[in-house]
Copies of this chain bind each other. A is one copy, B any other.
Amino acid sequence: MKVSTIEDVARRAGVSRSTVSYALSGKRSISRETRERIEAAIAELGFTPNAGARALATSQTMVIGLFVQFFEDEFSPAMLQYVLPISDAAREAGYDILMVTETDGPHAVQRILSSGMADGVVLLNVAYEDQRLPVMRTMKQPGAMVGLPRNPDDFDVFDLDFAEAGRILVDHLAERGHREVILITPRQHVYERGGAYAWRFRDAALQQAASYGIRVRSYYGETQQPLVNQQLNTILDAREETAMIVHNDAVIAALPSVLYSRGIRVPDDLSVVGVFSEDFGKLFSLPYTAVETSPNKLGRLAVQALVQRMVGPRAANAPRVELVAPSITDRGSAR
């Protein structure tokens, strides 16, 4: 039952350790018969190279650190949409995922990277002034982020083009003649904390609306029930607007039942557009036209960029900052 080492394999095949190693890696040529004997020995002993030893010898762990930040004021199921594609993409490239959810992000990054537990990291939910970035800069491992920080520096950054998303949705409503619009944004705390996507979206939307002469009333949306429903009802009580832009996962998830219960029909009584991924929409059965946030695409991009930087020669290429162009999925909820 004791796990066998490369030494056991070597002995059994009657060769030296180095020969086994070369047979495994193919970095030197090995005669046909020797290789077969080694392979047989490996099969019989059920040998698998020890990851720690290999990491020590090669200074490569084949592990990617995935740093997730869960904020109480954010809607958790959205995160999973990033995590899964990242895990899949990593595995396809031969990497495993060390998932770190510590609340003290900077400290966690420091701990994992300085002990050499990962060859590189993906940072999720990156804030404008993300405290994990200064730590990353002192480490030698490369990093890729999802979410746009103020200074991307050496890192590959991927995010949705939220400004464009805001414009697209305003256009969509403007084309249909709406003049008064409600905008529900993420919670106020998200702005204060520096969730840049929040104000990138809002600023662009407001500016675009202004250019059309559209009046926008904007609210910071809640994220916890029963507050979400209460707030929605208050907003709808006072409503004069004909359309609603929702950039808040919790609010849009709760919207169908609130609208039903008030007898407000979409799009007849109210036009609604949002910002969410296709999967998210399915999950909550959302019948609303929305800008697709493509979490799987962003996650995969991040991993691919990171992998390139980990295997590639030093400073292989300039850091990428890619704002993915949003696409709109028309589900007919505005007219």
Contacts and interface: CB of A to CB of B under 8 A. Distances in A.
Interface of A: 1-3, 46, 48-53, 55-56, 61, 63, 66, 70, 75-77, 79-80, 83-84, 87-88, 91, 96-102, 111-112, 114-117, 138, 140, 224-226, 228-229, 253-254, 256-257, 260-261, 282-285
Contacts of A260: 257, 260-261
Contact of A48 (B55, B115, B226): B115
Contacts of A55: 51-52, 55
Contacts of A1: 138, 140
Contacts of A285: 225-226, 228-229, 253-254, 257
Copies in the complex: 2
B97 A100 contact: yes
Nearest to A261: B260
Nearest to A116: B50
Contacts of A70: 84
Given A1-B138, A55-B55, 19 more contacts: A49-B115, A50-B56, A51-B115, A51-B117, A52-B52, A53-B56, A56-B56, A70-B84, A77-B77, A87-B100, A97-B100, A97-B101, A99-B99, A225-B283, A253-B284, A253-B285, A254-B285, A257-B260, A284-B284
A292 B260 CA distance: 27
8 contacts: A1-B140, A3-B116, A51-B52, A76-B80, A87-B99, A91-B101, A96-B117, A225-B285
